[in-house]
A and B are shown apart, each in its own frame.
Chain A
Amino acid sequence: VTQILPPAAPAEAPAEDRSEVVLSCDELSTREINGRLRELPEGAFVRITDAKGAHNLGVGLRHRLTITIEGNAGYYTAGLCDGPDVTVEGSVGWGLAENLMRGVVRVRGNASESAAATAHGGTVVVHGDASSRAGISLKGGTLAVAGDVGHMSGFMAQAGTILVGGDAGHALGDSLYEAVVYVGGKVHSLGADSRVEDLTEADVKRARDILDLAGFDHIDPQNLTRVASAKQLYNFDALKNQRY
């Protein structure tokens, strides 16, 4: 699933009326970079260079920034954020956009495990593949993956939407709550208490909106598999009766 480091898409040229603040990971520590990001005014444009897989870039930001990270980033990129628009031109490690509240986090390459874990809001877009446990414990955010996702994706997802353009690995949607998963390709296997349901017109509209937002044009919103909770393990009385 996870060949990482595909050729990075060329970055959009900055418009003339916006100037970018450039922060180099060769010159600044991660702590210093995140400190500089917090001090920038609302609406600033930032380019982070020389990432070389550095962890924790762009975490804990609560204002509107447009951040571009050149190359590959490491673990927990854009984690715990509430507002910024982050684009990684390469691939990322574990825990992309963990617990996102608002904003858009976009990865041109692939994402390792647990992308968009526990995201309450906002949108996470992965143009390549995402590895295992994508969207684990999702709480209302949206995760769109152009390619495949690994095993146990959507595990215990409580609210929000996961859209997968390619194939989903084993145990998809294990112990789902109210989140819904759409898959364009093959589902290798369903997890406990998840099931395939009919695709409704509302689903097609929801998927189309996500595809438009993500910029994916290779997925037919009318030809998706909808996976949701069968709700047999949904309440604690199941636990009481030892039916799990």
Chain B
Amino acid sequence: MRRVVKEFDGFFTLLVTSRDEFAVVRDAFACKPLVVAETDAYVAVASEYHALATLPGIESARVFEPQPEDVHSWVK
């Protein structure tokens, strides 16, 4: 994922998945939105908080916007 950030040109937010894990990253300018909600039970990502607002336990979730070029990954 970190190599992708260096190779890709332009604005993007990437979500890459495999069977057991997934990862997200934003380009250096972070012009495309990304919001992550993390709980013990799930991780949810969306381009806007509105899409996450009715998830169970969202009130106590860790909700954050990833920093530019920071790779976040989770394993099931």
Interface residues of A (CB under 8 A from B): 1-5, 52-55, 72, 74-75, 91, 93-94, 112-113, 131-132, 150-152
Q: Is B64 in contact with chain A by the CB < 8 A criterion?
A: yes
Looking at chain B, what size class is its interface with the partner chain?
20 to 34
Q: Is A131's CB under 8 angstroms from B65's CB? A: yes
12 pairs of residues in contact across A and B, judged by CB atoms under 8 Å? A2-B65, A4-B64, A5-B61, A52-B53, A53-B49, A53-B52, A74-B48, A91-B49, A94-B33, A150-B30, A150-B67, A151-B30
Docked-complex contact B65 and A72, CB < 8 angstroms: no
Question: Chain A residues with Cβ under 8 A from B14's Cβ?
Answer: none
Least CB distance, A37 to chain B, in whole angstroms: 20
Find chain A residues with CB under 8 A from B65 CB. Answer: 1-2, 4, 112, 131
B68 touches A3 (CB 8 A): no
**Is B50 interfacial (CB-CB < 8 Å)?**
yes
Q: Which residues of A contact B18 (CB under 8 A)?
A: none
Flag if A151 contacts B48 (CB, 8 Å). Answer: no
* A93 lies within 8 A of B49 (CB): yes
Complex: chain B residue closest to A54, CB-CB? B50
Chain B nearest CB from A96 CB (Å) reads: 13
> In the complex, what's the smallest C-beta–C-beta distance from B34 to chain A, in angstroms?
10
- The answer to whether the Cβ of B45 comes within 8 Å of any Cβ in the partner chain is no
Which of A3, A55, A132 has the most C-beta atoms of chain B within 10 angstroms of its own C-beta? A132
Q: Using known A-B contacts A52-B54, A132-B30, determine if residue A3 contacts B64 with beta carbons closer than 8 Å.
A: yes
Which residues of B in the span 5-37 have a Cβ within 8 Å of any Cβ on A? 29-30, 33, 35
Any A CB within 8 A of the CB of B72: no
Residues of A within 8 A of B67 (CB): 1, 150
Chain B residues near A4 (CB-CB < 8 A): 35, 49, 63-65
Residues of B within 8 A of A131 (CB): 65
Shortest beta-carbon distance from A107 to chain B in Å:
13
> Contacts A3-B63, A132-B30, A151-B30 hold; do A53 and B68 have CB atoms under 8 A apart?
no
In the complex the two chains form, is A5's CB within 8 Å of B63's CB? yes
| A94-B33, A113-B30, A151-B30 known; A2+B64 contact, CB < 8 A | yes
Which listed residue, A3, A74, A113, A152, touches B49 by the CB 8 Å rule?
Answer: A74
Closest to A1 in B: B67
